Amino acid sequence: MSPYNSLYPWLIGTGINGTLLMIALRVPKKLLTPAGYIHGCILGIVTWGCMGWQGYGIVLVYFFIGSVVTRIGMSEKEASGIAEKRAGLRGPENVWGSALIATLCAIGIFVIPWLSLGDNQTPWKIMLTLGFVASYSTKLADTCASEVGKAYGQRTFLITTFQPVPKGTEGAVSLEGTMAGVMGAIVLSTIAWLFQLIDLSEIPLCMIAAFIATTIESVVGATLQTRYVWLSNELVNVLNTLIGAWTAICLGLLKGT
């Protein structure tokens, strides 16, 4: 790979994301805080540089759907005190809490050609790409489950005891939220397949991984997060996406992807 070819995607990513950053900072309707937009720009540059438009497209899909579902029933959620802080505006901590694991997968894909792996490069790239998609599928599933559950959940239960609890309780689950989470994972992984990042047979792997990860996250929320102040939502998001990515990779290895 020539230096020019390896630098070209980074130049494109910088140009596109720099332009979008300037536009986003000027439009009146904000989806991120100013610092959030800057960190989102960095995330976009790294993702495009490492994975091209396909990986970048997944980031945009996650961001768009996540932003839409966060605003579902916003007035009711704000009145109940269970809405996202800053009226749903995301900051740097939210950006990296959601995208850190996927970004590490993307960086791994980028550096593989420079490693002495011989003919073993392809399996590594396939597994890391699956981890990248599963990570975002997991986070979108988590966002959809949480926001739809808070807006439309008829009955919410604590996952550890199945006792009824108010909406917005850490570790609470609902049928409506769970189904929305599953659909979110299916939608994002299907788009990843259309972008030729994963195989058709890997869509169920991402869905299963997302379901397992979000279930574990609910257990953590009901037990550990209520006990330890330092265990913030952002740290739990990193753990959630890590479990999702790792589970999908393990399932892919078992399937023989």
- Tens-binned pLDDT, residue by residue, of the chain (257 aa): 444 457 889 999 999 999 999 999 888 877 788 999 999 999 999 999 999 999 999 999 999 999 889 888 776 666 666 555 555 578 899 999 999 999 999 999 999 887 766 666 788 999 999 999 999 999 999 999 999 988 888 889 999 888 998 887 888 899 999 999 999 999 999 999 999 999 999 999 999 999 999 999 999 988 988 788 888 889 999 999 999 999 999 999 998 75
Q: Bridge-partner residues for 158, per DSSP?
A: 172
Chain center to CA of 48:
16
Chain center to CA of 20:
20
92-111 and 34-70 are packed helices; what angle lies between their axes, rounded to 10 degrees?
A: 100
* C-alpha to C-alpha distance for 164 and 132, rounded to whole angstroms: 35
pLDDT at residue number 183: 97
User: By three-state DSSP, how is residue 91 classified?
Assistant: coil
CA angle 43, 45, 47 (to 5 degrees): 65
pLDDT at residue number 27: 85
- For 44, 50, 122, 129, 201, the CA distances from 119, given in Å and listed in that order, are 30, 20, 7, 17, 24
- Which two three-digit tokens encode residue 18? 């720099």
pLDDT at residue number 2: 43
pLDDT at residue number 3: 40
Closest CA relative to residue 36, chosen from 81, 110, 116, 99: 99
* C-alpha to C-alpha distance for 243 and 209, rounded to whole angstroms: 8
Residue 158 belongs to what H/E stretch? strand 156-158
